[in-house]
């Protein structure tokens, strides 16, 4: 009963890697996609609008390698940043350009995660790469301002805290969740969160201390950074690796990017446990 009409955008020959909603335009989405499941080939970036009846392509660009993540600018409604398999970050302008505004090539391996800081004063971009580093950039991608090293495996995800300025959480193939202080260029916390690779992490939107991680071990864990000896909750039930976790902004629902399972009604009860009501799409 979740959705009676499903709006679909299809692009033959491309496999989606990331979708992000525009912070400015209510129905606008950006989608990063790759050829051949991102294993080889080129990539595409799509800007899409949801209409009453379906999904319309506003703009698209091609890239010579797969694109693995996209993030909208928090300063300009037309600007997006994408991360590619060639180690580059590209800045795109959906209003004008056919070619990227800027291409920054510092990472030496695939860029798997890009995130634009939501704290308005900051306007910084974070990128996580298979070269094991997280880099912080100015909004023009002139050059990286900080390179955060410490992970002992590929970085899959690097996300700004929506609450704490200058704070990034990252998830890695080394099985740790790390929290970084960008100003000090230091790692404040390294949590051995899973015994397998962690493919995704994200901050809870209503509690600045909570971070969710999704792992190849098929579990989602929620961590309270004040006490990381064990997770506050562990969500099991999937049979495959968790590709992406995204705590929603409203009504505390957790979207799991793997099999589109919508877990609704998850207020954090006083004893720290979630009430689970799992519906699968």
Partner 1 sequence: MNRLKLISGHLSPGGSAAPLPDLRSFDCGCAAPSPGDEVVVVHGRRTAIGKAKKGSFKDTTPDELLSAVMTAVLKDVGLSPDQLGDVCVGNVLQPGAGALMARVAHFLSGFPEKVPVYTVNRQCSSGLQALLNIAGSIRSGSIQLGLACGVESMSLRSMGDPGDLSSGLSANAKARDCLIPMGVTSENVAERFGVSRRQQDSFALDSQIKAARARDSGRFDREIVPVSVTVRDESGRERRLEVRTDEGIRAGTTLEDLARLRPAFKPDGTTTAGNSSQVSDGAAAVLLGRRAAVEELGLPVLGVLRGSAVVGVPPDLMGVGPALAIPAALQQAGLKVNDIDVFEINEAFASQVCVCVCELSLGGAIALGHPLGCTGARQVVTLLNELRRRGRRAFGVVSMCIGTGMGAAAVFEFPGP
Per CB under 8 A, residues contacting partner 1 are 37-40, 42, 62, 64, 85, 109-110, 130, 154, 173, 194-197, 199, 215-218, 239-241
Q: How far is the CB of 219 from partner 1 (least distance, A)?
A: 9
Tallying the residues shown for the chain, one arrives at 281
Q: How far is the CB of 120 from partner 1 (least distance, A)?
A: 35
Burial class (CB in 10 A: 0-12, 13-18, 19+), 3: exposed
Question: 124: which strand partners?
Answer: 138
Comparing C-alpha atoms, which of 224, 223, 213, 110 is closest to residue 171?
213
Q: Tell me whether residue 91 or residue 182 sits nearer to partner 1 (CB atom).
A: 91
Q: How far is the CB of 109 from partner 1 (least distance, A)?
A: 6
Q: Tell me whether residue 24 or residue 37 sits nearer to partner 1 (CB atom).
A: 37
Q: Tell me whether residue 29 or residue 155 sits nearer to partner 1 (CB atom).
A: 155
CA distance 236 to 191: 19
Q: How far is the CB of 123 from partner 1 (least distance, A)?
A: 29
CA distance 21 to 27: 8
Q: How far is the CB of 45 from partner 1 (least distance, A)?
A: 13
Q: What is the CA radius of gyration of the chain?
A: 18
Backbone angles phi, psi at 36, to 5 degrees: 50, 45
Q: Tell me whether residue 33 or residue 182 sits nearer to partner 1 (CB atom).
A: 33
Strands of the sheet containing 144-148, edge to edge, are 111-116, 124-129, 134-138, 144-148
Listing DSSP states for 96-124 in one string gives T-SS-SEEEE--SS-EEEEEE--STTT-E
Alpha carbon 43 to chain centroid distance? 17
Q: Tell me whether residue 63 or residue 180 sits nearer to partner 1 (CB atom).
A: 63
Q: Tell me whether residue 120 or residue 195 sits nearer to partner 1 (CB atom).
A: 195
Cβ(49)–Cβ(35) below 8 Å: no
Cβ(254)–Cβ(267) below 8 Å: no
Residue 118 corresponds to which tokens in the numbers above?
């939501």
Q: How far is the CB of 130 from partner 1 (least distance, A)?
A: 6
Q: Tell me whether residue 108 or residue 140 sits nearer to partner 1 (CB atom).
A: 108
Q: Tell me whether residue 85 or residue 247 sits nearer to partner 1 (CB atom).
A: 85
Q: How far is the CB of 100 from partner 1 (least distance, A)?
A: 12
Cβ(164)–Cβ(147) below 8 Å: no
Q: How far is the CB of 225 from partner 1 (least distance, A)?
A: 23
Whether the CA torsion 126, 87, 91, 50 is positive or negative: it is negative
């Amino acid at each position: 009963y979740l959705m009676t009409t499903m709006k679909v955008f299809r692009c033959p020959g491309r496999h989606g890697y990331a979708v992000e909603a525009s912070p400015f335009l209510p129905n606008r989405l950006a989608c990063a996609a790759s050829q051949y499941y991102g294993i080889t080939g080129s990539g595409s970036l799509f800007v899409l609008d949801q209409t009453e009846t379906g999904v319309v392509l506003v703009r698209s660009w091609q890239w010579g390698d797969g694109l693995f993540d996209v993030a909208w600018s928090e300063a300009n409604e037309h600007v997006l940043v994408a991360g590619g398999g060639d180690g580059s970050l590209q800045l795109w302008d959906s209003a004008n350009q056919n070619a990227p505004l800027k291409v920054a090539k510092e990472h030496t391996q695939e860029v798997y995660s890009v995130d634009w800081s939501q704290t308005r004063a900051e306007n910084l971009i974070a990128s996580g790469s298979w070269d094991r580093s997280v880099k912080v950039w100015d909004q023009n991608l002139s050059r990286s301002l900080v390179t955060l090293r410490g992970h002992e495996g590929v970085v899959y995800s690097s996300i700004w805290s929506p609450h704490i300025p200058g704070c990034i959480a990252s998830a890695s193939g080394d099985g740790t969740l790390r929290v970084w202080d960008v100003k000090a260029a230091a790692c404040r916390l390294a949590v051995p969160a899973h015994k397998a690779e962690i493919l995704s992490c994200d901050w809870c939107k209503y509690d600045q201390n909570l971070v969710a991680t999704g792992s190849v071990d098929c579990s989602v864990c929620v961590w309270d950074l004040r006490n990381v000896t064990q997770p506050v909750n562990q969500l099991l039930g999937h049979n495959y690796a968790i590709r992406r976790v995204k705590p929603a902004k409203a009504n505390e629902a957790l979207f799991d990017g793997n099999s589109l399972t919508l877990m609704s009604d998850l207020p954090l009860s006083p004893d720290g446990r979630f009430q689970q009501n799992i519906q699968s799409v």
